[in-house]
Structure 1
Amino acid sequence: MRSCHRAYLILLLATVVTQLSGQSTTGKGDRIYGPNFATRSPILARHGMAATSHPLATQIALDILKQGGTAIDAAIAANAALGVIEPNNGGIGGDLFALVWSARDHKLYGLNASGRSPKGLTYDGLKTRLGSRAQLPLYGPLSVSVPGAVDGWFQLHQRFGKLAMRTLLAPSIRYARDGVPVPQVIAYSWQVAAKRLAASENVIGEFANFRRTFLIDGKAPVEGQLFRNPDLATTYEKLAAGGRDAFYKGSLADAMDRYARRAGLYLRKADLAAHQSTWVEPTTVNYRGYDVYELPPNGQGISVLQMLNILEGYDLKKLGHNSADYLHLLVEAKKLAFEDRARYYADPDFSTIPLSWLLNKTYAASRRKLINPQRASERLDAGDPALRAGDTVYLTVADDAGNMVSLIQSNMLEFGSGMVPDGLGFVFHNRGTSFTLQPGHANVYAPGKRPFNTIIPGFVTKDGQPFLSFGVMGGAMQPQGHLQVLCNIIDFGMNVQEAGDAARFSHSGSSEPVGTLMTDGGRLALESGITPAVRTALEQRGHHLAETDFFGGYQAIRWDAVNRVYWGATEMRKDGQAAGY
């Protein structure tokens, strides 16, 4: 993760902590049953369940299910709503990934709906534009790649949907026109993001549209204030009437092309018209009898599988949850997996990714030997296949038929590039900034190429049956969050709510696909639920502790095949809600 991205997330969390700590000195109450760190009981329901980062999106998903829509219909409707009510983290200017369990086919499907770089910008042309800069800017024209989310909606809908797209988009259109009150965490992060973008206006260039669309009287909305986005309502109406072609080939594509030429973007209508999502085979490893699924690169999901393979050689439960021994092993496994992530994860259309080798148990055993149980590593290398022996929204929905969807969608950073095409009501993401400029690197920039992507949905099956649909938001925190949630459930027997509420670590400073290298072991941030004694023990092993960081945002649905009941959960770090019927 870029240092400025990391600094922004730290600033965001520090802002939230400061605001909350200033409100009250009252401590946490006590639960009458279950561990006290859990914020509530799991939500239980038989016929349908939705868990999203905003209560209104969850209610929209349930309404769609009750109208006879599938889990996929409900997920599309909820994701569209989040583009209105949580626009800092998601929207149709970004990418989308999904894992779908089809009850009819008894099969898990994977969709990569991420976009590609503009074909009219060559590597040499990009280098000329950048001058002496060694990396792409985080914001502005050069950070924009093709938005893939809309095509993702329609691909999902075509294969698994039931209700008309007009029905799915209707609640979001109404909220965009009538307005919606902004909740606590979204309001805080919106304010921080708006200040961050304003400070980079000279890099962004055209910034008036952002101010007009996402600020109210020049300021980000505060908690409880109504936010309206009539431009996005009109855009959604065009999608409902004209389908995905309205966005990629029709009037919306024309508007994006005109804006791009005016504001200095290289994106063109031809890039939009050429875009297509890809149905991919999910990758999997078995961890202690559970089959854990992630999507293959250009995303980072397989790093979760690599970490699980490494950790399978340890009795984690015996070490104790969030003990120094336990946390040390997870952090070191993360460092090892992220070295491979930095070197090999990229667009498979441009690079040969040694996927089967990276997920091989024998390879994991060889990497495990590099972990010193008493000392934190400072520098590591990626594995060598030549030596082998043989800001984001996540939601999940389940329906009465047994279909489940794990869907994640993002602008990358909050409000992405900061650039809003004229009259369309959404911001272009800045995923293009994730390329490296290093010649020969798997993730080096090229026209028409998908950049490395951080957003990852997760799914788990047990004995051939669906078990868990889940995700954790937050850049490089996502695979670390997946890992900790899975260990909480599989190794420590926590329920889905406890698994998300338990205190987490977040390690930063690993080598990254943009070309940066870990040279000092990085920084380890620990939530307040991890004891002072553990902190001291980790420091003694050489871990460099950070004061604070971003620890993600989690939603999950577990299927109880014995009682045929859904268990839903959403953690306390976001404004979210899990609900069922």
Structure 2
Amino acid sequence: MRNFHLAGRSTVHAQNGMVATSHPLAALAAIDVLRAGGTAADAAVAACALLGVIEPQSTGIGGDCFALLQPKGEGKITAYNGSGRAPKAATAEWYLERKINAIPLTSAHAVSIPGAVNAWATILRDHGKLGLDTVLQPAIKAAEEGYVVAPRVAFDWKNQFEKLKKGVNTERYLLPHGKPAVAGDVIRQPELGKTLRAIAKDGRDAFYKGAIAEDIVETLRGIGGLHTLDDFAAHTTETTSPIGTVYKGHDVWQCPPNGPGITMLVMLNILSRFDLTKFPALSVERFHLEAEAARIAYMMREQHVADPAFVKVDVARILTPEFAEEYGSQIRMDRMLDLPVVTPPMNPSTVYITVVDKDRNVCSFINSIAHAFGSAIVSNKTGVLLQNRGGGFRIQPGHPNCIAPGKRPLHTIIPSLVTKNGRAVMPYGVMGGQYQPVGQVRVLTNMLDYGCDVQEAIDMPRGLHYENIYQLEDGVPADIVEGLKKLGHKTASVVGPLGGGQAIWIDWDKGTLTAGSDPRKDGCALGY
């Protein structure tokens, strides 16, 4: 229970429905959908579409989507992989012949086929009641009539000003008056509103065929891209089963590769070897163990995980206790392990949405345009800001994540769902690029090992061991920073906070829902 003498947020409680998002207007839109009889899936898509307008640095219809859904909170969980593919002409040889050894993040080559719209349509087909025509209305209204810029959105806008000045059509669409938007500005995007109206009317085909796709392809090919209309028309969403592990008597589920959720599961398996409760929640020992587990898991991911349609990913072996033991047994409490430095090609932005409706349908939903403001390429006429998820590919023949025609890149976005005895107890997620697996582990262990409620678990200071530097938030106490240095960790402060998270806890006995939302973003949890 929180100390009410100290600044902070209370958990949010409700009986009928609950949503948590990174922006209050998106949370409100989702609640409106639930009250109108929509399902958790309807509410999630409505919130996400709106966020694509009002939180443009993080998400949009030019991005990708992953989701986990469990009808009535028990039984079969379905995983939706709405990640986009490389163009059919994108071979490693094409790039190497032109002496391109890495995908430039603000080039047309970084733009994989956006998968979000098709994923939304697929999820609504399977789990919704209202349809795209209804759930896109809040986003259409915000784009056409305008929205007020929130503080965290303005923070990111300012930090990406130089990128946006150099982008394609970004000055026109995303730099009103030639400057980054500030909190309180009213922004209108009529071209994006028109695009959303077309999708609301004609569904996914409006995006992947016809005038919208033609404009996106023309924009990309005009700056050297390899995309074709056939690449767009052929895009599909993969519907599959989740992968999981057990931690403290709870089953933890993730989308399978090419999603990177397996990274989080490996971390949990390694930490299962230790009794975290021997150490305070804020302690050198806990931060050290978390970093070592992350370093091992990220090394595994770099070596083994990619699009399973192109590379064999032995998920079963990677998730065995023996795999965790092989590396976890080497962890020392008095120094860092000597491991290769892993440098993932991406550390992007995203939004995460969690919804539980009155029938206890559960939706764990994440959507992203990759780096902040994606590729900084806006389609000429449609107002669609395009992702740079293709920047996650390697141009390295023989590497599991080497680019290939129609291949999906190793992703970063991961929705999570925790169940117990087959019933959903917590759909949750932590956004923030490479931090996501670490953040999800931290929130879950805060709760299951340290007894935090969902809000306390989200609030606690964070760190990310990335590119051989332990990046620490300002809230990490100075004595912990010094203790980590003595163990060999190089430390640094992060400019922006690490990620942002949302979670809903389901109490089946009381029939109630408890939620939290991250103060690192603008959002909130709302229930009714």
Query: Structure 1 residue 36: deviation in Å?
Result: 6.6
SS of match in other structure, 1:349? coil
Structure 1 38/372 Cα, relative in aligned 2: closer, same or farther at 3 Å? farther
- Residue of 240, 255, 260 corresponding to 2:200: 240
Report the Cα distance in structure 1 between the residues aligned to 2:10 and 2:217, rounded to whole angstroms.
49
Counterpart Cα distance in 2 of 1:372 and 1:548 = 26
Q: Distance in 1 between matches of 2:45 and 2:292?
A: 37
TM-score calculated relative to the size of structure 1: 0.87
Deviations, residues 466-488 of structure 1 (Å, cap 9, x unaligned): 11111111111111100100100
Aligned equivalent of 1:338, options 298, 304, 308: 298
Alpha-carbon separation, structure 2, partners of 1:272 and 1:265: 13
How do residues 442-481 of structure 1 correspond to structure 2 at under 5 angstroms? Answer: 442-481=400-439
Tell me the equivalent position of 1:59.
Answer: 28
Unpaired runs of 5+ residues, structure 1, are 1-31, 383-390, 510-521
Q: Which moved more, 1:369-378 or 1:85-94?
A: 369-378
Q: Alpha-carbon deviations, 1:46-96, whole Å to 9, x = none?
A: 111111111000000000000000010010100000011001110011110
Determine which of 43, 49, 52 is the counterpart of 1:80: 49
Please give the residue correspondences for 1:151-166 in structure 2 after superposition, counting only pairs within 5 Å. 151-166=118-133
Deviation at 1:365, TM superposition (A): 1.3
Q: Is 1:173 equivalent to 2:140 in the alignment?
A: yes
Q: Deviations over 1:340-395 (max 9, x none)?
A: 1111111000000011011001211121112111101242499xxxxxxxx11111
1:506 matched to which residue of 2? 464
Among 361, 364, 372, the alignment partner of 1:414 is: 372
Secondary structure at 2:378 match in 1: coil
Task: Please list the CA deviations of residues 110-164 of structure 1 after superposition, one character each: whole Å capped at 9, or x if unmatched.
Answer: 00000100002322112233x2x43111111111110000001000010001013
Aligned to 2:480: 534
CA distance in 2, matches of 1:578, 1:104: 19
**Structure 2 Cα separation of the partners of residues 380 and 490 of structure 1:** 31
Counterpart amino acid of residue 176 in structure 1: A
Task: Give the count of matched residue pairs.
Answer: 521
Cα distance 1:543–1:429, how it changes in 2: closer, same or farther (>3 A)?
A: same
Matched, 1:545 2:514: no
Distance 1:358 1:566 in 2: 34
Identical pairs, percent: 40
Q: Which moved more, 1:39-48 or 1:252-261?
A: 252-261
Shift of 1:193: 1.3
Q: Which segment drifts farther, 102-111 or 48-57?
A: 102-111
Matched, 1:560 2:507: yes
SS in 2 for 1:263: coil
Question: Aligned to 1:195, which of 158, 162, 165?
Answer: 162
Q: What aligned pairs does 1:100-499 form with structure 2 within 5 A after superposition?
A: 100-103=69-72, 106-129=75-98, 131=99, 133-198=100-165, 201=166, 207=168, 209-380=169-340, 391-499=349-457
- Alpha-carbon distance in structure 1 between the residues aligned to 2:109 and 2:218: 16
8 Å CA contact retained: 2:247, 2:272: yes
Q: CA deviation at 1:38?
A: 6.8
* Contact map agreement 1:420 1:427 (CA 8 A) in 2: yes
Deviates more, 1:480-489 or 1:361-370: 361-370
Asked if the contact 1:256/1:269 (under 8 Å) is kept, the reply is no
Aligned to 1:11: none
Deviation by residue 1:482-504 (Cα, 9 ceiling, x = unmatched): 01001001111100000000111
With 65-74 and 96-105 compared, the bigger mean Cα shift is at 96-105
2:514 is paired with a residue whose SS is strand
- The verdict on how the C-alpha distance between 1:111 and 1:451 changes in structure 2, with shifts beyond 3 A counting, is same
AA aligned to 2:516 is A
Query: Partner residue of 2:471?
Result: 525
8 A contact 2:461–2:476 mirrored in 1 = yes
CA-based RMSD of the aligned residues comes to 1.6
Distance (whole Å) between structure 1 residues aligned to residue 133 and residue 109 of structure 2: 34
Aligned counterparts of 1:181 and 1:35: Cα–Cα separation in 2:
31
Q: 1:528 to 1:210 in 2, by over 3 A?
A: closer
Deviation at 1:266, TM superposition (A): 1.3
Cα distance in 2, alignment partners of residues 341 and 34 from structure 1: 40
Distance 2:417 2:73 in 1: 17
Distance 2:241 2:301 in 1: 19
Query: 1:312: how far off?
Result: 0.5
CA contact (8 A) 1:37 1:498 kept: no
1:577 corresponds to which residue? 524
Secondary structure at the residue paired with 1:573? coil
The 3-state SS of whatever aligns with 2:258 is coil
Distance (Å, rounded) in 2 between the aligned partners of 1:139 and 1:548: 23
Q: What is the letter of the counterpart of residue 436 of structure 2? A: Q
Distance 2:363 2:431 in 1: 16
The residue type paired with residue 537 of structure 1 is G
State the partner residue of 1:14.
Answer: none
**Counterpart of 1:328 in 2: which secondary structure?**
helix
Partners of 1:102 and 1:54 in 2: CA distance: 26
Match of 1:50 among 13, 16, 19: 19
Contact 2:150-2:522 within 8 A present in 1 as well: yes
* Equivalent pair of 1:102/1:109 in contact (CA under 8 Å): no
In structure 2, C-alpha distance between the alignment counterparts of 1:104 and 1:464, rounded to whole Å: 8
CA apart distance, 1:307 = 0.6
The runs of 5 or more residues in structure 2 that have no matched partner are 343-348
SS in 2 for 1:118: coil
Paired residues of 1:406 and 1:459 also in contact (CA < 8 A): yes
1:257 Cα deviation after fit: 2.4
> Which of the numbers 54, 57, 68 marks the counterpart of 1:99?
68
**Residue 38 of structure 1 contacts residue 502 of structure 1 at CA under 8 Å; is this kept in 2?**
no
Do the aligned residues in 2 keep the contact of 1:60 with 1:77 (CA within 8 Å)? yes
Code of the aligned partner of 1:457: P
TM-score w.r.t. the length of structure 2 is 0.96
Q: Distance in 1 between matches of 2:296 and 2:68?
A: 26
> Are the equivalent residues in 1 in contact too, given 2:424–2:506 (CA < 8 A)?
yes
